[in-house]
Amino acid sequence: MKINLNNLRDTEKLGKIIAKCIEKGAVICLNGDLGVGKTSLTQFIAKEFGVKEYIVSPTFTIIKEYNGKFPFYHMDVYRINSEDDMYDLGYDEYIYSEGVTVIEWSRLIEGILPQERVNIEIKRIDDDKREVNIEGKGMFYERLVKELKKYENTVN
Ligand SMILES: Nc1ncnc2c1ncn2[C@@H]1O[C@H](COP(=O)(O)OP(=O)(O)OP(=O)(O)O)[C@@H](O)[C@H]1O
Ligand SMILES: [Mg+2]
């Protein structure tokens, strides 16, 4: 489904809805151009999910762990050279754990993403506006779509 965000506050609302729907083992894939708002959305999701620490872009570390309601893993695979490198970093253990995983630039590791996941593509419309496309598979995705439809009905 497609969602229009008019400003950062709307992105925060989206982050809250996502956090509310998260289930154990959820995988959230974020794509979109440099500086479009992937980390911002991650920060809002994490905050609502109970992560007390402020999330910064983990570009040089690739994977960072935080504690929320349950473990919260933030990956930024922009600088990864190959899917094999991900396994060397313990990718499997993160992805198939009970924690939540958010992956920025997930399309670069398309071949090793789990089937059940939520894909979020963010497009820049202008300085503040974003168009967000959400697709996915699995229980978490189904729940998210239901909540987002409710949200749409309240703003439109
Ligand atoms: N509606 C919006 N949603 C998200 N970010 C917005 C919005 N409006 C403005 N911004 C600004 O856009 C910037 C997004 O930066 P951010 O680091 O989140 O991008 P990114 O996609 O993670 O970049 P990178 O590809 O480098 O990781 C922030 O400065 C944020 O304040
Ligand atoms: Mg980022």
Domains contained in the chain, CATH given:
2-151 (3.40.50.300)
pLDDT by residue, tens only, the chain of 156 residues: 999 999 999 999 999 999 999 999 999 999 999 999 999 999 999 999 999 999 988 667 899 999 999 999 999 999 999 999 999 999 999 999 999 999 999 999 999 999 999 999 999 999 999 999 999 999 999 999 999 999 887 765
Regarding the beta carbon of 39 and ligand 1, being less than 6 Å apart is answered yes
**Secondary structure of residue 27 in the 3-state scheme:** strand
The residue nearest atom 30 of ligand 1, judged by CA position, is 37
33 CA to centre of ligand 2 in angstroms: 10
Q: Which helix (H) or strand (E) holds 47?
A: helix 38-48
Q: How is 69-130 classified by DSSP, letter by letter? A: SSEEEEEE-TT---HHHHHHTTHHHHHTSSSEEEEETGGGGGGGS-SS-EEEEEEESSSS-E
